[in-house]
Homo-oligomer: A and B are copies of this chain.
Amino acid sequence: MSKIFVGVDLGGTNVKIACFSSRLELICKTSAATEANMGPKNVVDKIAKTVGKLLKDNGFSQKDITAIGIGTPGPAKYKEGVIIASPNLPLFKNVPIKKMLSRRLNAPAILENDANAACWGEYVLGAGRDIDDMVFFTLGTGIGGGIVCDGKLVRGSDGNGAELGHIIIYPGGRLCGCGQRGCVEAYASANSTAKRATEAIKAGAKSSLKKAMDKKGEITSRDVYEHLAAGDRLARKITDETAEALAIVCVNMLHTTEPKRIVFAGGMIAAGNVLLDRIKYFFNKHIWPLKKETVEICFATLGEDAGIIGAAALAKEIKKT
């Protein structure tokens, strides 16, 4: 019998599934449409069947599963393994997914916030593999976060720690999807980047982005970075706002858990070094001159696999009872 650890990254659109050895070597992986509209029971059934097929195709059986890790967007009762509700999984209300999947696959399971799982993946095998203290941001539609302190994932008193996208950096500022004003997510997510550019163009700012907007009816954060690379001034201004917001939150995290490394992941890092360099520039502008800070600000290295790797790595930590 082999020892297989299964990592599941359950998103609103796709579910990613992978099998790892006890040394976290990737054995096999796959991805499928979540089809969340089928409801929780059918989604769990589909995940279980997909895992089964994946194992079989690679010469294993369900009996080889040692434990399962599941990453999912919040809010959830992670300890209990219950998804409370999720904007992207509308039929999932108080779903005890940990228990459901554990029963179907006859192995213990653990539920974790998807950003925390990705953070843990980067910590164990990626950008944080050689350090003990790390802060992680995933820059996508929204901004997710994760914190590792002295080698341990910070879960918070109620399992909802490290909601770093909702740190307020401009009190009274832009309205965030969460209802707060001035969150870093309202300035530095892919959505906000596109939104701020759109607003500026509508307000009459001169930019090569206008043509893209007229053509497609909307612009994305990707457009902003493409036009930035081509030298557009508005794209530069929008990117600087993004970078400065992220830099301020880097300063704040340094003064909070003092990470050795701050790691950015998610679709937005496709912007490349131009974004990273501006974050570092603004970090140096805002940080105190009291002492030389040695924190490294960098990009993640595992790409989209961070979530499944982290989920499997967390499964490895399930205590045998």
Contacts and interface: CB of A to CB of B under 8 A. Distances in A.
Nearest to A152: B150
A274 interface: no
B257 A168 contact: no
Contact of A75 (B155, B167, B291): B291
A212 interface: no
Interface stretch (A156-164, A189-197, A229-237): A156-164
B179 A290 contact: yes
A137 to B, nearest CB: 12
Given A157-B133, A162-B256, A286 B168 contact: yes
Q: Most chain-B Cβ atoms within 10 A of its Cβ — which of A168, A171, A252, A255?
A: A255
Contact of A286 (B159, B180, B286): B180
A302 interface: no
A286 B171 contact: yes
Nearest to A172: B286
A173 to B, nearest CB: 10
Interface in A146-188: 147, 149-150, 152, 154-164, 166-171, 176, 178-181
Interface of A: 75, 131-133, 147, 149-150, 152, 154-164, 166-171, 176, 178-181, 244, 248, 251-253, 255-260, 286-291, 294-295
Contacts of A150: 152, 154-155
Q: Is the interface of A mostly helix, strand, loop or mixed?
A: loop
B258 A168 contact: no
A290 B255 contact: no
Contacts of A156: 133, 257-259
Given A149-B154, A156-B133, A251 B169 contact: no
A161 B288 contact: no
8 contacts: A132-B157, A149-B154, A154-B258, A156-B258, A166-B288, A168-B248, A169-B171, A180-B251
